[in-house]
Structure formats: structure tokens, C-alpha cells
Chains A and B, each alone.
Chain A
Amino acid sequence: MVTQETPAGSGDQRTRYLKIENITKKFGEFVALQDISLDIYKGEFICFLGPSGCGKTTLLRAIAGLDIQTRGRIEQDGKDISNLPAAERNFGIVFQSYALFPNLTVSKNVGYGLVNQRMGKAAIGERVAELLDLVGLGDQGSKYPAQLSGGEQQRVALARALATSPGLLLLDEPLSALDAKVRVFLRQEIKSLHRRLGVTTIMVTHDQEEALTMADRIVVMNQGTIEQVGTPIEIYRNPMSPFVGNFVGTMNFLSGVVTGAASVRLGAMEFDCANGVGGLTEGQAVTVCLRPEEIAVRGVASGGANSFEVRISGLEFLGSFYRATLQAARLGDMEIIADFSINEVRDMTLDEGATIQIALPGEYIRIFAED
């Protein structure tokens, strides 16, 4: 299996902080992680993204030492931690459930790990105040977790995880239990906290929007393997597999056949693809992928490159844009989903039942061999 990674930023200032080598995790017969390898650099914000059951949490817990891998090595800051128990590793962790100690006040929760570090009482108090200020809960120290809102509780959990200044911050679906609004707000909070503290952070999420907005790099996982590693833009723009394309953003999947070094046939039509067909041989059955917003409608002339006539069989208003379902006789049963801006719909009076010209821009066409 080949994984490709393109680290955030350019230049070679990056120091490798976490080195994950050939991690396999089995639960009985079930293989939760299969031969995972990954490097994470100091100060990075990494998101493990994937559907439930893809192994992202398992990988996080292996890194934490909570569920140690069956095979493979993990190195943190140059030190082999593969077999170390969690208590001897260096990380802070935040869970979806907050896992705040209900019978301890917010201050006691945040200071929980400090008490064990033989710090003086005053020093602990100072540090706790500082952390609470950091997460914007400076005046809530004497309350109990149950007296706080979900978002506030998660910030307490964050402060507690950061209290001992760990080298690695692990976030296991930290926002999933929160309301949509709070989630968006806390997303920015965490991101800015990360910017300020620069602590290497790994966040597990199944929410692509979260991953796209927060991560320096995203690790897309599926069925215990890494599908792709890359910056949000890379992941979105250049999905390396139909799975990634489908999981991150929306994608049209059309069945086609390779007809040349840079052309495919869809239904009864042939299309040019500017990026070539990736070395696939002629006659190979392929999946042709295209994002809905990449489908051009404005200024498409009949007979232009990759253009053809479609009928709008459905048009759905989604607030900031319209999503159209397009059919064409020459595509057979295949439907294409296209996103049109409000302006386009207004200007071109697009409507259900209308027949229009669209183009599938060659530079956006991605081709994957069909399994």
C-alpha cells in the first residue's frame, strides 16, 4: 500500500515528532488497523478523518497507549514508546464525553494532574487560574462540571489536558456531543489555542468540515488503513481514491472506459482529461469523478470541449446555492449532480425541466481504475 504525504508549509524546518511505523491492531480476528505508517511533525494539527469503525480512534488510543497495538512501532520525540504504558507517555487527552470528574470543582479538575507533580498549592492555584483564563472560564473555577454547559465543560477538559504541558494533545471527537453553533465556536477556540501554544495536536473526527477547517494535515482513514494524507486543500482537490473523494465533500461517480492517453468515454460521449489517465490502459473500466461545483454551466457553448446537453430533472435549494440533478440521453442511466450558484440560476433562469449545455472541465476530471 502506498501512502503519500505532503506536509504543511514548505521548507524543511519541520521536526518529526511522532513516527508511526507499520501499526497493526487486532481485536480477536477483527483487524482494526492494518499496517499503518505515518509521520507527524512538531506543532502540527493533524486530523484523523473517517467514517465510524475506520480505525481512527483505535489509532489515537494506540498512540496514547490506552490500547497498545498488536504490531508495529511508535516513536515520540525520538523515543520509542511502542510498549510503554499510557501513564509513562507524554500526552494530554480530551474525550467526546468530557470525562470530567463530577464530584470535583472545575479548578480541582484542571489541577488534577498537577497535584501529582509535587507543585506547591500556590503554584497549582496560579497555573489553574492561568489555564482557566486561557479557555475563557476564569471565573468558573468553583463550580461543578454539572453546573456548566457542554461547551464550557469541554473547555475545562481541554484546560485539564493542557495543565501538565504535554508534548502531544489528543482530541477524541471533542466536539461531537455539542450543538452545531457551539461546535463552530469551539472549533475556532481550539484552533487559536493551538496557534498560541503550538502543541502538536491530533484530533479524531468523522466530521469533514471540522477536519477541513482545523487541520494542518488530514489523515483520511477507511477500514483500518490510511487512504490519503494531505493538507485540506490537497484532500479536497486531489482525492487519491474514490473513497476520499466521496467522504470529503460531494462527488459524482460516473462509470467510464479509457479510450486514450488522455480521454475517457462516458456513455456515448468521449471526454478529454487534462491530467491524463494515470497510466491506465485503453479499454480499462474506470470511475470518473467530478465535484458538483466543478461542473461548468456559464459560458458553455454547444460543441465546446467536453460539453453536452442535459436536462435538469431536479433542482434543490440549499441556501447559498442550488443542487441540480442532471440527465442526458447519451449518458444512459447515469445522473450528474451539479451545484449552481444563486447568480447562475437567476441569470440563466435555470429551472426543473430546462435543457442546458454543461461542460465537464478536463482539468478537474479524476480517473480511478474500477475494482
Chain B
Amino acid sequence: MTEGVTTLSAVAPKARPILGRDDWIMRWGLLVLGVWLSVAVVLPLYTLLSKSLEDHGGRFIGLANFAEFFATPVLFHSIYNSLTIAIISTAITITLAFIYAYALTRSCMPGKAIFKGIAMVPILAPSLLPAISLVYLFGNQGMIKGVLMGETIYGPIGIVMGEVFWTFPHALIIIITALSMADARLYEVAESLGTSKLRTFFTVTLPGARYGVISACFVVFTLVITDFGVPKVIGGQYNVLATDVYKQVIGQQNFQMGAVVGMVLLVPAVLAFIADRIIQRKQVALISARAVPYHPKPKTRFDMAMMGFCCVVGFMILGIIAVDAFASFIQLWPYNLTLTLYNYDFDLRDGGGWASYRNSIVMASYTAVIGTVIIFAGAYLVEKIRGFTVIRSLVQFMCIIPLAVPGLVLGLAYIFFFNHPANPLEFVYGTMAILVICTVTHFYTVSHLTATTALKQMDPEFEAVSMSLKVPFYKTFWRVTVPVCVPAILDISIYLFVNAMTTVSAVVFIYSADTTLASVAVLNMDDAGEVASAAAMGMMIVVTSAGVRALHALLTRGIARTSQAWRVR
């Protein structure tokens, strides 16, 4: 029996897929996320842009503000200063971080875990803290001011030192990852060919890690150029773009010019961001082949040298923190060195007192919980939705934008957007909610990428299986996706919590009398000359972040133990 069918495809009916309940829920979910991100990222940035093109009265004046900016040598000079600081800091940070990372990955020195832990300490502190410590160390009454040989710490030297401390762990994490991806076989080949150690370093090690190093450069560069905590405290009269935004907006409430500086600040951040994206795309291709992990062999002299280096760097990091802690207990440096808790009586000082510390804890907790829920669920939707391609790519793009937006710029944009009387969301202005929204948004992208990576590691067919078994996707999300991704979820929440504790740049524009924050209190107390109390509040932040991190480590270990039956590989 033979059946022959001849048809022209034009005749066949076009499929008009009926959307199932899952599809509807996911699409609505994605739309909600899209609206959220529009409100939290896109619209504020748009408002910022339009503000920079308006005069004080709100009339459109084109690029006149920009013309004024570039015609004001004082402001224009800040660009030069910012770039100088960023380039020098990046060079120093990357060099130190590379050697440190090299020691951690390629030597057999003892105490690697401890050194790695020490290197992460700066992440727990707001960027204001190292600057305060540097004042105590190298200021005019500094403990070891002689080291500077008459140079003043107030200015580029202090800014660079503070930035290096603060950005060090960020660079280190990236470079460690890059160096850990090395393929042992390449080293075996090099050795079998009798290649010298130095040549191996330049022909195998550096090229292998180059994308990581470049990526780290961009990260550090962006962090430095957009940070204002360090230059604010120790910059003296050395103006940089970040402090200009602050001065224009907070000091003079010149929002239009603030918006202009914000837009200018956006340029290097966006450029670095785009360059990094391009490079990372290349890196993916590089590591797709499965490599054999490299295991260093003990070499006493090399290991000792590496350990010596790490000791010096580690000592400096801990020293900065220790100085801050010490200063916070001193009655009146340098005239009255009795130990006291007086500086911890925050209620007597500017910045909101102990309430600001409590606010910070509350804000960080909201940010961690709400942020994790939104970001993880959002990443899931973006990753798993079927069809809906235009909206999906749009939302995906919006998830990435925050990485390129400096905190100052975001905070500024929030004032314009949320404090507009015509905005129906105006009621969140001045509340805890806007701080949470802002902080979640500020740190959205890194968390989103963490979630995406975790989701990509899962079998892509779980959802197909669920559909075939008529189980709604959200049940599988809850029963399978979430439990499997618990480590990533914890990582995201801790990342959000610690950053919410330490961030200053975005929230400094939008906190209110009821929602003062610890990190902002550090800034305000320093501004008011209460440096010891600023140091004390800084310590409260460090201790809290460290405590939460320790809790996270315990929790992660606990989960690893209870889930080891199935979490193998």
C-alpha cells in the first residue's frame, strides 16, 4: 500500500499556538519584571538624561548645560583628575591582585585559605572606611605620616591608596578565577619542551589569564571612577567627577549640572562595560574546551617569596581595619588617648544615630530577601520563557544595564524620577522602599548573572519534562529549581546584604530623616568632623557584614552536608 502526498507549503495553515496556563503566567511574570525594571532603571535614567537637557525652570535647552560644563575649567578638570586616579589605581590594584592571586593559585604556600579570607575583608567595609584609616595613619596627626616624606595624604596619594584597598578583592576574585582555569597539559607540554619558567609564564600563564586580567582592569577602573567615598573623605581639594556630582547636587542642589556630570560619569562606565562584554564573549570560547586542572608542586623558595608578599598585603589590609577599630575607641586623637566607648554614642552626632544602623540592617535584610526573590525569579523567567522573544530580549537587556550605571548616577536619577510630583510612585520617595528598590537595582546585574549561571547549569529539559507530566512550571521551580540552586541563591542574598550595608553612592541622594543609613552616617559624621564616630560606625558595618558572611559560610556548609547525597559531580 502506498500513499503519496504532495502539497505546497503555502497551503498549510499557519500555526497559531494556544498559550497554556504556564505560558500566560510566565509572560505576565516577565511583563511585571519588565515594568519593574523600567520603573527602577530605564525611566529614572531617561529622566536624568532629559534633566541634563533642561534649564532650572524645566525648559528644554539642548546641550547648553553640557556646553557650560565643558566651559567650566573647574568641572572639566575633574575629568582629567578622575581618569588619572582611575588609571593609577587600576595599575596598582591589578599588579598586586595578580601576584596575590598567583600566590593563591600557583604556589604551595601554607595558609592559602586564611590569605584568601583576609583579602576579602575590604568588601565588608564601605569605601569611606579605608580613607578614614588613612587619615589616622598619614594625616597631619597621622601615626606614621613620616612615611609620606612631607607629601600630603589629602589628594591623589590618599585617593589612590584608599581605592587600591577597596578594589583589591574585586580584582582578586576575577584574576583567581582566570588563573584557576589554566590547563595543566599546557604546562606539561611546555616543561617537556624544556621551556624556561619565565618563558612559560609569558607564553602560557599570561595569555591564559589575559581575559581575566583585562576584565579585572575594567571592573577596577569603573569602581574607582565612580566611587566617591574615598575622594570625599581624603580627596582634599582634588576634585573628581564623583565628588563633583555630590557637590553639585547635595552641596548646591544644582540638579541640572549634577545630571550633566552624571551623564559624563556614565560615559567611561558604559565604555568599560561594553569592552568587558566583548572580551567576555571571547573568553567563553577560550574555556569551552575541557581543561585538566593545574596543581602546583612545592618549590620552597618560590612558595616562601609568595607567602612573604601575601603577608605584606594581608598585613596592610588588616592594618587599615585595625587602625579604624583602634581610632574608634580613642577619646580625642592625638591629645587624649584614653580608651572609650564615647564615639559609639551615635545618637549625639549627625547622621541619624543608632537608628541609622538599625535602618541599615533592615534595609539590607529587605534588599537581600526581596532582591533575591525578584532577581532569581526574574532570571528564571528570562532563561526559561518560551517565545515572547522581543520582550524577553528587552528584559534581558534591562537586567544588564545596572552594571553600567554608577551608583551616584542611579541615585541622582531616582531623585528626578521619584520626587517628581506628577509621578504616581512619588509616595515611595523618602521611604525605606525606595532605598530597597535602589539598592536591589544597583546590584541587580551581578546577582542576575549569578542566577543565570546557576540556572544554565541545570538540565534545560526539566521544564519540558514537567510539561509532559502536566505539572505546572512553578511547582517544578519550587520543588526542583530552587532547592538545586540554593547555593547560588544564598550567594546572591549575601552579596546583596553586604553591599546594602556598605553602599553609599546611590542611597546618599535618597535617604530621608526616617531612613538614615549607617554607611551614609559614616559620611555625614566625617563631614561634620566627627571622624572617630565615623570610624566607629564603619566598624559596626564591618562587624555586621563579617557576621552575616560567617553565618552564610555555616549555612552553606550545612546545606552541602545535608544535600551531599544528591549534590555530586
Our pick among B19, B469, B484 for the contact of A112 (Cβ within 8 Å) is B469
Residues from chain B with a CB closer than 8 A to the CB of A24 are 9, 12
The CA of A23 and the CA of B9, in the complex, are separated in Å by: 8
Q: Which of B192-200, B318-326, B457-465 interfaces with chain A?
A: B457-465
Q: Which of B21, B470, B472, B480 has the most CB of A within 10 A?
A: B470
* Interface contact A35-B18, CB-CB below 8 Å: no
Q: Which residue of B lies closest to A37 (CB)?
A: B5
Residues from chain A with a CB closer than 8 A to the CB of B459 are 95, 97-99
Indicate whether B312 reaches chain A with its CB closer than 8 angstroms. no
Our pick among B9, B471, B483 for the contact of A22 (Cβ within 8 Å) is B9
Our pick among A35, A70, A95, A99 for the contact of B7 (Cβ within 8 Å) is A35
The CA of A164 and the CA of B468, in the complex, are separated in Å by: 9
Indicate whether A141 reaches chain B with its CB closer than 8 angstroms. no
Q: Which residue of A lies closest to B565 (CB)?
A: A144
Chain B 16-28 interface mask (CB, 8 Å, partner A; 1/0): 1111111100000
* Interface contact A113-B18, CB-CB below 8 Å: no
Q: Which residue of B lies closest to A111 (CB)?
A: B469
Indicate whether B290 reaches chain A with its CB closer than 8 angstroms. no
B456 CB to closest chain A CB (Å) equals 13
Our pick among B13, B19, B466 for the contact of A71 (Cβ within 8 Å) is B13
* Interface contact B2-A166, CB-CB below 8 Å: no
Indicate whether B568 reaches chain A with its CB closer than 8 angstroms. yes
Indicate whether A146 reaches chain B with its CB closer than 8 angstroms. yes
Residues from chain B with a CB closer than 8 A to the CB of A95 are 459, 461, 464-465
* Interface contact A101-B20, CB-CB below 8 Å: no
The CA of A274 and the CA of B480, in the complex, are separated in Å by: 62
The CA of A5 and the CA of B1, in the complex, are separated in Å by: 8
Residues from chain B with a CB closer than 8 A to the CB of A98 are 459
Residues from chain B with a CB closer than 8 A to the CB of A301 are none
The CA of A146 and the CA of B566, in the complex, are separated in Å by: 6
* Interface contact B13-A73, CB-CB below 8 Å: yes
B24 CB to closest chain A CB (Å) equals 10
Q: Which residue of A lies closest to B458 (CB)?
A: A102
Indicate whether B297 reaches chain A with its CB closer than 8 angstroms. no
Indicate whether A160 reaches chain B with its CB closer than 8 angstroms. yes
Residues from chain A with a CB closer than 8 A to the CB of B59 are none
* Interface contact A85-B4, CB-CB below 8 Å: no
The CA of A116 and the CA of B18, in the complex, are separated in Å by: 22
Residues from chain A with a CB closer than 8 A to the CB of B568 are 146-147
Q: Which residue of B lies closest to A108 (CB)?
A: B479
Chain B 132-151 interface mask (CB, 8 Å, partner A; 1/0): 00000000000000000000
Chain B 172-189 interface mask (CB, 8 Å, partner A; 1/0): 000000000000000000
Q: Which residue of B lies closest to A68 (CB)?
A: B17
Q: Which residue of A lies closest to B473 (CB)?
A: A87
Chain A 70-114 interface mask (CB, 8 Å, partner B; 1/0): 111100000000111111110111010111011110000000110
* Interface size in chain B (residues, C-beta < 8 A): 47
A101 CB to closest chain B CB (Å) equals 5
The CA of A144 and the CA of B6, in the complex, are separated in Å by: 50
Q: Which residue of B lies closest to A10 (CB)?
A: B1
Our pick among B468, B475, B569 for the contact of A64 (Cβ within 8 Å) is B468
* Interface size in chain A (residues, C-beta < 8 A): 58
Indicate whether B543 reaches chain A with its CB closer than 8 angstroms. no
Known contacts: A99-B461, A103-B563. The answer to whether A39 contacts B12 by CB under 8 A is no
Indicate whether A288 reaches chain B with its CB closer than 8 angstroms. no
Residues from chain A with a CB closer than 8 A to the CB of B289 are none
The CA of A164 and the CA of B466, in the complex, are separated in Å by: 12
Q: Which of B3, B5, B19, B468 has the most CB of A within 10 A?
A: B468
Q: Which residue of B lies closest to A4 (CB)?
A: B2
Indicate whether B281 reaches chain A with its CB closer than 8 angstroms. no
The CA of A24 and the CA of B465, in the complex, are separated in Å by: 24
* Interface contact B480-A103, CB-CB below 8 Å: yes
* Interface contact A5-B470, CB-CB below 8 Å: no
* Interface contact A88-B566, CB-CB below 8 Å: no
Interface residues of A in 92-143 (CB under 8 A from B): 92-93, 95, 97-99, 101-104, 112-113, 115-117
* Interface contact A72-B462, CB-CB below 8 Å: no
Q: Which of B20, B461, B472, B484 has the most CB of A within 10 A?
A: B461
Interface residues of B in 435-472 (CB under 8 A from A): 459, 461-462, 464-472
* Interface contact B15-A99, CB-CB below 8 Å: no
* Interface contact B13-A87, CB-CB below 8 Å: no
Residues from chain B with a CB closer than 8 A to the CB of A116 are 469-472, 475
* Interface contact B9-A35, CB-CB below 8 Å: yes
* Interface contact B6-A161, CB-CB below 8 Å: no
Indicate whether A69 reaches chain B with its CB closer than 8 angstroms. yes
The CA of A93 and the CA of B464, in the complex, are separated in Å by: 8
> Can you sample 21 A-B contacts with CB below 8 Å?
A4-B2, A5-B3, A6-B2, A35-B12, A64-B464, A66-B386, A66-B467, A71-B9, A71-B13, A71-B15, A72-B13, A72-B15, A85-B18, A85-B23, A86-B464, A86-B468, A95-B464, A97-B459, A101-B476, A101-B480, A102-B480
Binding site for A on B (CB under 8 A): 1-9, 11-23, 386, 459, 461-462, 464-472, 475-476, 479-480, 483-484, 563, 565-569
Query: 20 new A-B pairs (CB below 8 Å) besides A2-B4, A72-B9, A83-B15?
Result: A3-B5, A7-B1, A21-B7, A23-B12, A64-B464, A72-B12, A83-B17, A85-B20, A85-B23, A87-B21, A88-B20, A97-B459, A99-B462, A99-B465, A101-B480, A113-B470, A116-B469, A146-B565, A146-B568, A161-B465
